[in-house]
Structure 1
Amino acid sequence: MTLARNPVIRGFAPDPSLVRVGDWYYVATSSFEWFPTIPLHRSRDLVHWEYAGHVRGAVPGDSLAGVPDSGGIWAPSLSWDGERFWVVYSVVRSVGTPYFDTDTYVSTATEIDGTWSAPRRIASHGFDPALFHEDGRLWLLNLQNDHRPGGRRFAGIVLRELDRRTLAPVGDTHLLLQHERLVEGPKVVRRDGWYYLVLAEGGTGFEHGVLVARSRALTGPYELDDRPLLTSRDDPALPLQKAGHAELVRTPDGDWVLSHLVARPLATPDGPRCPLGRETAVQALVWDAEGWPRMRHGGVHPAVEVDVPTRRQELEPREPADPLGWPWSTLRGYPDPSWADATTRPGWIRLTGRHGPESWWAHSLLARRITEHRAEAEVTVEADPGTFTQAAGLVLRYNTEAYLSLDLTWAEPEGEGQRGQQWRGGTGRRVLALVEREEFGTRQAAVVDVDTAGPLTLGVTVEDGEARFWYVRGGVRTPVGPPLDFTRLSDDYGSKLRFTGAMAGIHAMDLVDAAFTADFTGFRLTCW
């Protein structure tokens, strides 16, 4: 046995799809509007995980430009047919509408960190697809979406056979199950002559859970278990909330484990919020006398500490080969290779400003996942903004309607109002502007003069749900503005659907010329 402490993959790693190949376990997670697309992790013991690459090229054209917040790649499902890996996933282009405008794709690879095939579009009944391999046949499971007025947007789970070579549909579509509660995320495993249909239930928030149904035939009919396999919705005091979206996997020794998502809430006056997003957890399973899966520790709640049926095998730390690669992420496209051109300024990253932080199109941004509720980030930036349309700095970001940034920018001379005269940069001031964006608008929380030229170190400390920004002057941290509410950078703030997690990073913008550059070095993100 090996002791796992959940979540095992921490910070913005939702919708885990677990597969075992030999002695390795692999997990694929949702990436939404962020690149790299479909991050992949691997482990030998379900406890120690490392980044193992991603499904490069998952989005045709390598661009999600114009895709809204929390759109993009939802719930990839990873599988192995004995010869190669398969991944099936949906690209969701509309969020908060009845249609979703979903394209479902399949890609394959012989090695998890190898070259993935160009994505091929298949039947797109709805999001959360999965593949089931049996006796040389390939089956597609999917949520069925009914967009019509009065229709059920989660109208049941369907099954369709695909031709393994062409991926064209074969035969009829089978309705496996409908339920009065929302069900999605279907996965199928076979055990002792039964087909078990594992379902995410109740939405992906605090009402989330896992249901199991079974049938003697793959095409049904399916009988639902009379109790959930996993949920945390009945106990708001549990440290792991939102438990759901699960997958069952058998170990080499015949034991069973479960991967699922969870979230770690912070208490706020407005209720619990989870700025770290939804994360990946594992549990140990047993089977009861009637042949239903159960949590080995009993009950239906997720355990923080779990003895998983594996032998401890720690992984050697690996240095990132690409200065712009993981753990960096970018929005809606891959980073521009010129950002880390060693011939420009070795050891520095140079961002050329593009759109502002609320664009769905062209960002100059690099960010990393925040993995704990206590964190600190800092970076040294050198830039010479000449107008208020140019800025560069340190950002805590959730999406276009939730971010906090401390930016080196330009402002009018002291005492002069904002008159929109961006061409008068030579007569203005070099300042640090602290900006807070939330659902109902943007406010400038503080402006501090920093007239000295040359590099400037910026930082932020996150603790107790607050973000405190600072910069270094004379070797001393100098606070900028008041503490800001970090918990608004979460799934649980605001009125719109949100599915990602808080990130810390660097960005630059130039709204007029797209030519302003900013150099960054020494980025550090510490979470504890």
Structure 2
Amino acid sequence: MAEMIKNPVLRGFHPDPCICRAGDDYYIATSTFQWFPGVELYHSRDLVHWEFTGRPLDEKRLLDMTGVPDSGGVWAPCLTYEDGMFYLVYSNVKTFRNYYKDVDNFLTYSRDIHGPWSDPVYLNSSGFDPSLFHDDDGKKYILNQIWDHRDKNDPFDGIALQEYDPEQQCMKGEPVQIFKGSSIGVTEGPHLYKINGMYYLVCAEGGTFYEHAVTVARSKNIEGPYELSPYHPLMTSFGHPELRLQKCGHGSLVCTQNGEWYMAHLCGRPEGVHKRCMLGRETSIQKLKMTEDGWFVIDHPSGLPQNEVPSPGLSDFIVSERPAKRVFPAKLPDEFQTLRIPLDQRWMAFNEERQSLVLYGKESMESLHTQSLVGIRREHFDFMAETSVRFWPVNYQQMAGMALYYDTTNYFYLNVSWDEVLGRTVSMIICDHGEISVSGERCQIADGENNVYMRMNVKNKTAQFSWSPDGENYFEIGEELDATKLSDDYYNEAEHGLRFTGTFIVLCCQDTSGQRCPAEFEYLTYSPSGGEA
């Protein structure tokens, strides 16, 4: 019996999945927003087991996000495979908070999923969520959502289609609006497929939170008109609070070698009375079937997103286990990312003898430009993380440590710094919608103690930080913190603007005096503990 697909297949911050197949290999690309390198890629042979395979936008020539706002950057990439070539279409969103969305859309390509990837080809700036469609007559088309800045109440102006010339590497002709969306509204995330001579347009609607949905329309002509499915919407969890998978939407389709259809989509798993999704928007997979009149529906009698789904079949694909303890022999382990831009030798180095990471202090935790900060995703409800840092600040403008981090305005930061009276100290900084406070007392570090050991113990909705001078005897610092505040939902409730990312465990170093005071991190341990992953 085939192994079941257990949702979500990608836990933690993995939104906006685009799935494709190249021979016997399946790939998923997900959004990374302001985190660098851009676009997460995962590989599978059975849709059950997924292994990280890289981030293609790993150079500033491909992606420069200097100054982009929190939750800006790379939105909803599109990965396709055609005639032995991988094509990646992506955006770089530079502003999005008010009337306008300043966004540039690009295309890069490679014959190998591991690269090298071509120099980016600029496409357009008319809207976000760009995708690429390869027609069976050899023509290629770019689709994207159109943004109408004039209409504050309903700026989503449907889906546009325009031909792309691969020889000249430029857009061709004029864009055509092919779909205005359904009554659900907020139409975005388009993907186009040609099946049995018909063009099927799959879109996200309803916004990316609890009203999210997947809409399907079809046409005999690529430019429309597109007829809305009578089984509309194809998928949503809205109105079904009993479902474990919420916020279901933003789908893309893949056909197996045997002609079965599956859909990758984003989802969230809320916890607590506030129904906040601490692991962010994740990726799940549903099995589809086609009705007698040629429309897609969920392959389950309920028509609702399922926690477990039959897979196409088993394979010999084995996913390597990540070690609990991450060390730094001569480079960052693959799962680590930085903010907005790569960290070069001015801000990051490695002590190969101790297999440690050295970060040189740079800008504050509020900076949208250059932060000396590296991090990994939170992928479990319960976990413990730990590090050891050597840091010798000489003034209060210098600090380093470990944080549970959402973005520049929401984080919990256990740090070593300097106090004029106490000398070296450990303290717990809370940033809540940009308001800074200190939780608990500042703790003095005794003379002669080189390393400071730091630990965070996260149990679902709460986080407790502690520190140790010897790595054995730990002392709690500050109060037990509400980890649900590090979520998209917390922003939306307080109307502080939209956010779309997820929580990271980060190591960081700041020196706003400009002296580049170094902090040496000997390891980072991330250990899931109990409960549901």
TM class by smaller structure: over 0.9
Match for residue 443 of structure 2 among 441, 448, 468: 448
One-letter code aligned to 1:222: Y
Match for residue 465 of structure 2 among 464, 469, 475: 469
**How far apart, CA to CA, are the structure 1 residues paired with 2:235 and 2:333?**
35
One-letter code aligned to 1:405: Y
1:341 Cα deviation (Å)? 4.2
1:300 Cα deviation (Å)? 3.4
**How far apart, CA to CA, are the structure 2 residues paired with 1:356 and 1:129?**
33
**Quick check: 1:70–1:95 contact (8 Å CA) kept in 2?**
no
**How far apart, CA to CA, are the structure 2 residues paired with 1:514 and 1:340?**
14
- Alpha-carbon RMSD across the aligned residues, in angstroms, is 1.9
1:345 Cα deviation (Å)? 5.0
Aligned counterpart, 1:438: 432
Aligned counterpart, 1:247: 252
3-state secondary structure, aligned to 1:493? helix
Change (3 A) 1:145 1:342: closer
One-letter code aligned to 1:4: I
Aligned counterpart, 2:262: 257
- Taking every aligned residue pair, what percent have the same amino acid on both sides? 36
Change (3 A) 1:339 1:170: closer
Structure 2 alignment gaps of length 5 or more:
none
Match for residue 400 of structure 1 among 408, 418, 429: 408
**How far apart, CA to CA, are the structure 1 residues paired with 2:364 and 2:455?**
21
**How far apart, CA to CA, are the structure 2 residues paired with 1:29 and 1:58?**
18
Structure 1 alignment gaps of length 5 or more:
414-427
1:213 matches 2:217: yes
Structure 1 window deviating more from structure 2 (315-324 vs 490-499): it is: 315-324
Aligned counterpart, 1:129: 130
1:516 Cα deviation (Å)? 0.5
Match for residue 194 of structure 2 among 190, 194, 206: 190
One-letter code aligned to 2:514: D
Aligned counterpart, 2:240: 235
Structure 1 window deviating more from structure 2 (474-483 vs 221-230): it is: 474-483
Structure 1 window deviating more from structure 2 (338-347 vs 201-210): it is: 338-347
3-state secondary structure, aligned to 2:77? strand
Match for residue 300 of structure 2 among 297, 300, 303: 297
3-state secondary structure, aligned to 2:484? helix
Aligned counterpart, 1:419: none
**Quick check: 2:109–2:117 contact (8 Å CA) kept in 1?**
yes
Aligned counterpart, 2:482: 485
1:61 Cα deviation (Å)? 6.6
Aligned counterpart, 2:419: 411
**Quick check: 1:132–1:139 contact (8 Å CA) kept in 2?**
yes
1:171 matches 2:166: no
Change (3 A) 1:483 1:150: closer
One-letter code aligned to 1:140: I
1:349 matches 2:351: no
Q: Superposed, which structure 2 residues align to 1:100-139 within 5 Å?
A: 100-134=101-135, 135-139=137-141
Q: Superposed, which structure 2 residues align to 1:26-41 within 5 Å?
A: 26-41=27-42
One-letter code aligned to 1:169: M
**How far apart, CA to CA, are the structure 1 residues paired with 2:75 and 2:59?**
12
1:491 Cα deviation (Å)? 0.6
Size of the aligned set, in residue pairs, is 512
Structure 1 window deviating more from structure 2 (444-453 vs 10-19): it is: 444-453
**How far apart, CA to CA, are the structure 2 residues paired with 1:205 and 1:151?**
17
**Quick check: 1:283–1:308 contact (8 Å CA) kept in 2?**
no
Change (3 A) 1:125 1:10: same
Change (3 A) 1:59 1:140: farther
Change (3 A) 1:366 1:327: same
1:208 Cα deviation (Å)? 0.5
